[in-house]
Every structure is written in C-alpha cells, then in structure tokens.
C-alpha cells in the first residue's frame, strides 16, 4: 500500500509544481515560465522569512521571548487553516482526474493518504519558511537547552497536523451541506466567506485593546493565544520549561487528530466526490419566449456564470477587496493618532492619513479576475474564439466582471476610510479617484498578462487560479504598482502631489493597454 501511495504522491507533485510539463515539453517558453515561478516563489519566501525574523526580534526586544513558542504555533495554525481551506477543494475534492485515479488498483485509503500527504507537504513548506527564522531568533535569545532545541525541531513537523485536520473537516462539512442544494457552488462560496468573515471579526477584536503599552499588548496577546488555543499552551510549557510530558501530550493530540481525519475521509471520500461530480437537472421545463440580448450582455452573463461556478476562483479573487472592506470598517473605530503611541513616532497618524488613497491599491491588486479568465476557457476556448463577435467585446465582458465585483467594495471602502481617517477635501477626492482608476488599470493589465502567459491544458481550475504564471506576474505587478507610489510619497515628502500624479499615470496606462487589447486577434493555437 505504501508503495502505491508513494507513487500517487510523486505523480501529484510532478503535476502540482509543473515539473512534469517542464521535463516533457522542453520549450523555451515553458522554461521561462518555470523560471518566473521559481523567482517569484523565492522572493515571496524571503519576504515571509524576513517578516518572521523581524516579528520574533520585536518580541525579544520587548522581553517577551517566552511568548514566542505560543505565537509560532498560532502563526502555523493560521497559515495551515487558510492554505488548506482555500486549496482543499481543488486537491482533495472535485479534481478532474478523480475517475481515472479511482479506476486504478488502489484503495480509497491509499488515495486519501496520498492527497493528504500533498496538502501536508504544501503546508509544511509554508510553515518552514515562516517558523524557522522565528525559531532561530527565539532559540538564540532564550539560550535554550538541548532538549528544547530537539522539541522545536519536531514541532516544525507536528504543528500543521491539528489545524490541517480542522480545516479539512470544515471543507468536508461545507461540501456536505452544499450537496443538498441545487446551486451547490454558490452555497460553498457563501459558507466559506461566512467563515472567513467570522475569522476576520474575531481578529478585529484585538483593536479594542489598549495600545498605549505595547509590552502589555504583547503579553495580553500571548495570554489570549494560550487561553483560546490549548495546543499553544502545551507547546509553550514544553519548550520554555523543557517539559517532555507537555510535548508528548501535544504530539499525541496532533497524531490522533491526523489519524481521525484519515479515518473520516476514508469513510466519506468516495461518496462526496461522486456527489460532487453528479449533475442536477430540473424537471417541468416549459417552452417560453426566447430572450435576445446584445453580444456583450450574453458574454457578460456567461462570464458571471463561469465565475460563480468555481468556488476556488471566487475565494481567490474576492479576498483582497473583502480584506480592504474589513480594514476600512476597523479604521472607522480606530484613531490614527494611536499610531504615534504604538510606534513611538510623532506624526505617524498624519502620515497614515496622507497615504490613505494608496492603502486600497495593495488589496485591489492582489488577484483580479482577469488574470486567469483567458486560461479558464481551457480546451473549449475554440467556441468563444470562433463566435461571430469582435475580440474586444470578449475582452470587455471579462473586464466587466472584475469591475462589477470590485468597484462597489472599493467605493464603500473609500467612503469608510474617509470617515474613519477624517481626510481633507482634496485627499478625499483622491481617495475615491485613485482606487477607482487603479481598479480599471489592474483589470486590463491582468487580462493582458493572461494573454501573454496563458495556460490552457489544465486538469483542474486550481492549477490556473493558484499556480498560473499569469496570476503570479499579476500579483507581482500589484505589489510593484503599490510600493512605488508609497515609496515616492515618502521620498518626496508630498503625498498629495504623488497621489495625483500616479492617478493620472495609471489612467494613461489603462487607456494604452486597452488600445493594445483592441489590436489582439484571438485564435486557437
């Protein structure tokens, strides 16, 4: 059994990271694509590692190093929960080659074990990047014993198990509930977003703490983590006090949780995937008058249906604007002057208020719907490519989906930011103008990027939405087009002028890219 599981795991890794495609395609385009993915992955890993080390050093500087084990376990749990929750449906359930995999001479348990190993490996990679730098900083500052170092090492591999089990069980629960409804994808999206909102609401409760004493704030955070997440308390006692009893209990809980998950999955795995692949039909069809619409409206309706038919597509693209909305709501109840006390930087509140028009850019640019809309046409792209409509009409329908989803959140967030930060008249105008212009810019830019980096021969939407080159390039573009104006505003000490200049610049770039889109001719390669 283990040999078959290892073979399935190997095949999935080759497919998941594009290694198989690179080996057998041999084209320079594919090599450039993999190089871009590798460079982007390394940059993101370095960014995450640097943040981890910096945060750990901050705790050490404040004399709170004993709280670091608890915070490390919390970060591990958050990373694992989010990663598994967002990616579980594409790897564990509803994958396109399910029938082929299950027709092999393997048991359901073997398939489940190989799939869970893949999800665990992905989470382990993220956890190593996030926790190893913090662990090194903590171990050096706390002068740990040899026993504590051994515990820290094994904790890197044990930490993801419990949150992995919890997130997967949530995925199973949401999938099971959604199967009872005709529009199950919509139900999955609503339930998933509800859980995310509850998580954000819980996180926002920390804004009610007194921020005047940052040391007390850190102590309160550590105590809260130990109280509400008992495994973190066990880890803290184990590492700080070199308690093998607490470490053994944590190990037992983690392994028991993983085994329970495997048992539950093995029982319901085949049934869940079979029901996910079923097609619901509605009886009582009546012949009615045929509705006629313009080509744009027909294509726009098609794009909206395609968008909401894929839960991973929705969750991956709306998270940015939902986080922006959550931040805007939080800032309504937050006094910017508290930043001066929190950071001990006079004038920090005024600077934060001046940079308000630039804040939404980061969230808007995270993942527009257009950066994978071309690739998602897949092997059926010949249908839309051969339709008797102009190419720009096809593009307009894809751009309109991103605008109709993003602009309402952007406008509401701009209003809330203006109210919460009490911005001046000119700053308020720019707070509306720049995010709206940037939404148009990232929409057309994402589409142009996807045209240059398409991925048509995919087996699962997950591969396009999460691992496509176009998505990564679009994300990097979003980072750059956010950081550059912020850096310019700080460098030139004139945020209003810089914001106005970049508003005009992004408007000009939007028009230029759109003119280039008009010259594109679609064809089936």
336: nearest Cα among 240, 256, 400, 423: 423
Final residue of a structural domain among 233, 248, 278: 278
Q: What is the pTM of this model?
A: 0.69
Degrees, nearest 5: CA angle 350-356-359? 130
How confident is the model at residue 157, as a pLDDT? 92
Domain count across the chain: 2
List the Cα angle 110/15/376 in 5-degree steps.
115
**Statement to judge: residues 317 and 274 lie in one domain:** no
User: For the segment 13-59, what is each residue's pLDDT rounded down to a tens digit?
Assistant: 776 666 666 666 656 766 676 777 677 778 778 878 887 888 888 77
Judge whether 284 lies within some domain. Answer: no
Sign of CA dihedral 515, 519, 524, 525: negative
Indicate if 46 and 109 belong to the same structural domain: yes
pLDDT of res. 216 = 59
Same domain, 210 and 301: no
Same domain flag for 132 and 262 = yes
pLDDT at 179 (0 to 100): 61
Residue 19: inside a domain: no
273 in the same domain as 387: no
Compute, in degrees rounded to 10, the torsion defined by CA atoms 98, 99, 101, 106: 120
Q: Residue ranges of the chain with pLDDT lower than 50?
A: 206-213
Domain range for residue 249? Answer: 29-278
Instruction: Look at residue 190 in the predicted model and tell me its pLDDT.
Output: 66
**Which pLDDT tens digit goes with each residue over 119-133?**
888 889 888 988 899
Same-domain check for residues 266 and 404:
no
Per the CB < 8 A criterion, the answer to whether 338 and 439 are in contact is no
* Residue 5 is assigned to a structural domain of this protein: no
pLDDT at 82: 77
Residue of 201, 432, 490 whose CA lies nearest to 327: 201
Please indicate, yes or no, if residue 23 is contained in any of the structural domains: no
Would you state the pLDDT for residue 206?
Answer: 46
In a domain, 195, yes or no: yes
Residue 13 lies in a domain: no
CA nearest neighbour of 324 among 403, 412, 402? 412
């Amino acid at each position: 059994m283990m040999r078959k599981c290892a073979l399935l795991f190997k095949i999935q890794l080759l497919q998941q990271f594009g290694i198989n495609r690179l080996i057998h395609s041999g084209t320079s385009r594919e090599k450039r694509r993999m190089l871009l993915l590798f460079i982007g992955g390394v940059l993101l890993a370095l960014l995450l590692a640097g943040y981890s080390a910096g945060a750990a050093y901050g705790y050490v500087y404040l004399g709170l190093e004993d709280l670091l084990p608890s915070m490390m376990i919390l970060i591990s749990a958050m990373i694992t929960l989010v990663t598994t929750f967002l990616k579980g449906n594409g790897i564990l359930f509803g994958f396109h080659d399910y029938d082929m995999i299950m027709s092999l001479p393997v048991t359901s348990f073997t398939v489940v074990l190989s799939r869970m190993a893949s999800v665990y490996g992905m989470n382990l990679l993220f956890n190593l990047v996030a926790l190893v730098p913090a662990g090194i900083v903590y171990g050096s500052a706390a002068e740990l014993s040899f026993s504590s170092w051994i515990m820290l090492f094994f904790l890197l591999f044990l930490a993801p198990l419990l949150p992995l089990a919890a997130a997967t069980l949530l995925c199973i629960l949401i999938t099971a509930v959604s199967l009872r409804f005709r529009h199950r994808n919509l139900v999955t999206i609503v339930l998933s977003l509800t859980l995310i909102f509850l998580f954000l609401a819980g996180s926002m409760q920390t804004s009610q703490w007194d921020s005047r004493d940052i040391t007390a704030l850190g102590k309160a955070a550590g105590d809260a983590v130990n109280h509400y997440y008992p495994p973190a308390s066990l880890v803290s006692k184990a590492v700080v006090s070199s308690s093998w009893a607490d470490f053994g209990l944590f190990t037992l809980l983690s392994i028991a949780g993983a085994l329970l998950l495997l048992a539950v999955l093995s029982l319901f795995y085949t049934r869940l995937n079979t029901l996910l692949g079923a097609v619901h039909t509605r009886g009582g069809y009546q012949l009615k008058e045929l509705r006629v619409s313009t080509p744009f409206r027909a294509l726009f309706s098609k794009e909206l249906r395609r968008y909401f038919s894929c839960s991973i597509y929705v969750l991956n693209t709306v998270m940015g604007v939902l986080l922006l909305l959550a931040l805007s709501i939080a800032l309504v109840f937050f006094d910017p002057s508290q930043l001066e006390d929190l950071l001990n930087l006079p004038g920090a509140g005024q600077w934060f208020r001046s940079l308000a028009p630039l804040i939404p850019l980061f969230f808007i640019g995270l993942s527009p719907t257009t950066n994978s809309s071309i690739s998602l046409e897949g092997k059926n792209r010949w249908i839309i490519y051969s339709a008797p409509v102009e190419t720009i009409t096809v593009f307009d329908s894809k751009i309109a989906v991103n605008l109709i989803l993003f602009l309402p959140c952007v406008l509401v967030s701009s209003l809330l930011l203006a109210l919460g930060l009490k911005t001046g008249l000119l700053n308020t105008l720019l707070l509306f103008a720049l995010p709206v212009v940037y939404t148009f810019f990232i929409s057309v830019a994402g589409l142009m990027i996807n045209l240059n980096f398409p991925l048509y021969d995919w087996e699962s939407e997950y591969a396009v939405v999460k691992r496509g080159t176009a998505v990564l390039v679009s994300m990097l573009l979003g980072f750059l087009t956010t950081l550059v104006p912020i850096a310019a505003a700080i460098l030139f000490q004139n945020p209003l002028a810089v914001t106005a200049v970049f508003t005009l610049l992004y408007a000009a770039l939007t028009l230029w890219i759109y003119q280039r889109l008009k010259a594109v001719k679609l064809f089936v390669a």
